[in-house]
A = this chain, B = another copy of it.
Amino acid sequence: MTEKKLETTVDRVYQGVYEAISKRSLRPGMKLGEASLAELFNVSRTSVRAALKQLEADGLVTTEPNKGASVSLPSDEEIRSLFETRRLIEIGIVTELCRRRDTSVTQDLRDHLLLEDEAHRSGDHERLIHLLGEFHIKLAQSLNNPVLLDWFRKLISRASLYAAALDDDSHEACRDDEHLRLIEYIEAGNQSAAIELTCMHLNGIEKAILDVAATLKTGYHPLKHLIEV
């Protein structure tokens, strides 16, 4: 993987906060005090600051000068931008995969589907959510393009953050057999169908997130108090 041999302190903090956010222990809008994090990880504030700066570059954390950092709380515009970007990228990815028609890639994706099914049947909700997201990463991975993959991971992280933060059930959008159908289209080299499905798929997720974001503003929601005027 992309693991480093020697784990430096700031990387540990970075990973820790990253995981905490993706595991929803830390939710959007939450304040990230340097002192508390430093104590939590048993490191100095210096390291915490560096880690937070990096997380800010990833878009997971927002900082205001002299006011500290907090987990990003996305606006509707940001959500829309993010998914428009995902559509653009993922269309590019499936287009290329359709062109290549590499059976080892599609087999790998099929193997992944088995895991999804298994998690679904065994009722392992947590794992299923993780795997559904992982599928999209696997798509990117199959291009063997580290530059794209690196960034795409961050993109997915942000999307997951938004989804996880706003709604516990938005993964429902990744439902049915859409992943399977996408694989079949790729195997058949059916570009236009694969593209259309990808768009539909992502539109579904985007809509789910935007809907919850809307109720978050008008109706009641556990995170309502975090919304800024």
Report A's interface with B, CB cutoff 8 A: 4-6, 8, 10, 46, 49-50, 53-54, 57-59, 65-66, 77-78, 81-82, 84-85, 88-89, 91-93, 96, 143, 145-148, 151, 155
Question: Bound state CA distance, A54 and B50, in angstroms?
Answer: 9
Query: Chain copies in the assembly?
Result: 2
Interface of A is mostly: helix
Inter-chain contacts of A4 with B (CB < 8 A): 65
B81/A147 in contact, CB under 8 A: yes
Pair B53/A147 contact, Cβ less than 8 Å: no
Q: Are A65 and B6 neighbours in the complex by a CB distance under 8 Å?
A: yes
| Complexed CA–CA distance, A147 and B92 (Å) | 17
Closest CB-CB distance, A13 to chain B, in whole Å?
12
Cα(A3)–Cα(B151), bound, Å:
23
**How far apart sit A81 and B143, CA to CA, in the bound complex (Å)?**
10
Contact of A93 among B8, B78, B88, B155 (CB under 8 A): B88
Q: How far is the CA of A144 from the CA of B102 in the complex (A)?
A: 35
> Across the interface, which residues of B come within 8 angstroms of A92, CB to CB?
88-89, 91-92
Query: Which residue on B lies nearest to A8, using beta carbons?
Result: B65
What 9 A-B pairs have minimum CB-CB distances, sorted nearest first? A88-B92, A81-B147, A85-B148, A6-B65, A81-B145, A57-B57, A85-B147, A82-B147, A50-B50
